[in-house]
Structure formats: structure tokens, C-alpha cells
């Protein structure tokens, strides 16, 4: 039985269509490379990121990732030549983040149920103030 399961698994893997970057699919990869640099960033195995939005913070050193699962994760080292990033959860418990912006020390997010301003008021690197800006 195990042999047949392995055979089916490898057959599916071999027959499955392989992904290619959209630029290669559309024939625009070379032109896009002039403007957009693609970098593979290693992710910890225990961190499942289903990204809904990205925001580069004003210091140009950190990347914020908002997830479908309701987290905001801060990434340091993502822009290094050879990325070995560290990940820190800034906020959690949100409801499927769709969009995110950063201004004047706060994140502004759109989530399933509202628009929210999220702030770290005590400077410890974790969100501690959540202000509902709109819930209609």
C-alpha cells in the first residue's frame, strides 16, 4: 500500500504544472528586472504567512507584512544583499487584513470588519492601542 501511495504522490508532483514568474509567462521578465528586483526571503517553517498587504517602514530597513490570519509581522533584514531576516509579531487578533499603510507612528489597516489605527504607545515593539476609525 505504501508503495502505491508514493507512486501516486510522485506522479501527481511530476504531472503538476510548474510555476513560472509572470514576467517569463508574458515575455516581460527582462524589462521588469530593470525596475523590480525579485528576492527570495527565507521563512521559518513554523511561520505560515498568507500575506494580504506589505508596507516598507519609513526607516527603509523594516518590512511590515499583514496577513489573512490577522497578524502584522515586522521583518528586519529582508532588504539585505543576502537576506537572513528576523520576524517579530507586532499585532494579532485582527480580522483578515486587506490593506495597510504606515503614517505618523501608526499602522492604518482595512480588515474584514473595520478600518483601524494600530499604535505601539509604549515603544516595546508590540501594538497596544487599536482605534476603530470606521466600522460601517
**Could you report the per-residue pLDDT of 23-39, keeping only the tens digit for each?**
777 788 788 878 877 77
Give the per-residue pLDDT at 24: 72
Higher pLDDT, 109 or 10: 109
Among residues 22, 41, 40, which one has the least CA distance to residue 32? 22
**Long-range residue pairs from 7-12, CB within 8 A, at least 24 positions apart, any chain:** none
Q: Is the pLDDT of residue 117 over 60?
A: yes
Domain boundaries, the chain: 1-38, 49-134
pLDDT band at 13 (very low <50, low <70, confident <90, very high): very low
Q: The pTM is what?
A: 0.72
End-to-end CA distance of the chain: 55
**Could you report the per-residue pLDDT of 38-73, keeping only the tens digit for each?**
777 788 887 777 888 889 999 888 999 998 889 999
Distance in angstroms (rounded) separating the CA atoms of residues 72 and 57: 13
Higher pLDDT, 87 or 18: 87
Q: Is the pLDDT of residue 9 over 80?
A: no
Amino acid at each position: 500500500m505504501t508503495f502505491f501511495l508514493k507512486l501516486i504522490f510522485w506522479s501527481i508532483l511530476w504531472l503538476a504544472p510548474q510555476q513560472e514568474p509572470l514576467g517569463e509567462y508574458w515575455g516581460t521578465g527582462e524589462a521588469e528586472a530593470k525596475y523590480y528586483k525579485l528576492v527570495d526571503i527565507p521563512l521559518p517553517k513554523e511561520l505560515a504567512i498568507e500575506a494580504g498587504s506589505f508596507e516598507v517602514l519609513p526607516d527603509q530597513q523594516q518590512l511590515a507584512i499583514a496577513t489573512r490570519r490577522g497578524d502584522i509581522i515586522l521583518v528586519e533584514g529582508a532588504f539585505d544583499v543576502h537576506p537572513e531576516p528576523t520576524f517579530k509579531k507586532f499585532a494579532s487578533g485582527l480580522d483578515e487584513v486587506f490593506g495597510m499603510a504606515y503614517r505618523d507612528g501608526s499602522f492604518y489597516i482595512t480588515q474584514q470588519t473595520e478600518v483601524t489605527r494600530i499604535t505601539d504607545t509604549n515603544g516595546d515593539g508590540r501594538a497596544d492601542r487599536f482605534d476603530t476609525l470606521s466600522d460601517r
